[in-house]
Amino acid sequence: MKLSIGIVGLPNVGKSTLFKILTKQEVNIANYPFATIDPNVGVVAVPDERLQKLAEMSKSKKIVPAVVEFYDIAGLVKGANKGEGLGNQFLSHIRDVDAIVEVIRVFENSEIIHVEEKIDPLRDLEIINMELILKDLETIEKRLAKLEGEAKTGDQNKIKEFEFIKELKKILSDGELAINFPRLSALNPQEFAFLKEMNLLTAKKQIYLLNGKESDVKDDLRFKIKELGVDYLIMDLASENNVNELIKKAYEILGLMSFFTTGEDETRAWTIKKGSKAPQAAGEIHSDFEKKFIRAEVINSDKLLEAGGWPQAKQKGWLRLEGKDYVAQEGDVMVIRHG
């Protein structure tokens, strides 16, 4: 599966710097708002030392890592929903991402201007979340306008959707993110389908990246983030270029894991949801493998490396044959048998 993450924030908080570090691409970074006027998209390899070790063991001709797509959009400003600034134009570019990284500036530097003139991370957090909420309300209003007429025909499915989205609208109108919908974890399959179809920005998992030093992060900001139930990382983008933790955190909040295939032709990492069964994992390799799945030959990557190769692992009795009900585990190496 493809993992994609949108990077949002006010102008001059470090979004484009983060993107540059992630992708090693030269993007347009300037000391003024709206330097990024087109969405930058970069594909970043997921760091995994196991991949290199497996490739060396198998003498693979090619290594194919799992990847993450990062979308960097123009800086949002207060009032973007009313046409202020440029960022609101590009929110549609992250409509389909899996998660959002919200970059919040906590560092002080008088030489780098702030669009709101004063450094106030709490205010900035609230501005960005409100712009995401307002964008979602725009989506919901359009949907409700269409559903109102459809519901009047007596279509029970449309009536249920209309009532559900009205309930969701109230949550957003009260300034709450859709992901904090009180009964989100208890939605029935039909309601979940309604929510998924709208692809709301505030229904996506978030990570706050606090740009600065540990000492720059005040207690009130930590308390607010805890209250929102959002994961965060503190990273000084001016001096730090190792963002592996960000990718790891994205995997964590989205409930993702990696499994591997390895051989002389290539060693490859695959991304799947935790809890996926062997046929679903096989489907990541090729859709036909899921449909025609028979069984999988499985071993943990550490055990395979310890054995020194497939023949040695087989001799030791460490290879397992797993069927359709096997739940794939982090670090599994698989050979899929299919019809």
φ/ψ of 48, rounded to 5, equals -160, 105
d(CA 118, CA 93): 29
Q: Helices 156-173 & 189-198, crossing angle to 10 degrees?
A: 60
Of 237, 266, 169, 288, residue with least CA distance to 15 = 237
pLDDT digits (tens, 9 = 90+) for 310-324: 999 999 999 999 999
Question: What is the pLDDT tens value at each position of the chain, 339 positions in all?
Answer: 878 999 999 888 888 889 888 877 555 544 444 444 455 788 888 889 999 999 999 999 999 999 888 888 766 666 555 554 555 566 777 788 999 999 999 998 766 666 656 889 999 999 999 989 998 998 999 999 999 888 888 888 889 999 999 999 999 999 999 998 888 888 899 999 999 999 999 999 999 999 999 999 999 999 999 988 899 999 999 887 778 889 999 999 999 999 999 999 999 999 999 999 999 999 999 999 999 999 999 999 999 999 999 999 999 999 999 999 999 999 999 999 998
Backbone angles phi, psi at 180, to 5 degrees: -100, 15
Q: Does domain 3-253 have CATH number 3.40.50.1220?
A: no
Angle (CA) 56-57-63 rounded to 5° is: 45
Region of 199 (left: φ > 0; alpha: ψ -120 to 50; beta: rest) is: left
Structure tokens given for 192 = 């979940």
* pLDDT tens-digit map of 88-134: 566 777 788 999 999 999 998 766 666 656 889 999 999 999 989 99
If one looks up domain 275-338 in CATH, what number appears? Answer: 3.10.20.30
Q: Where in the chain is the domain with CATH 3.10.20.30?
A: 275-338
The pTM assigned to this predicted structure is 0.85
Start-end of CATH 3.40.50.300 domains in the chain: 3-253
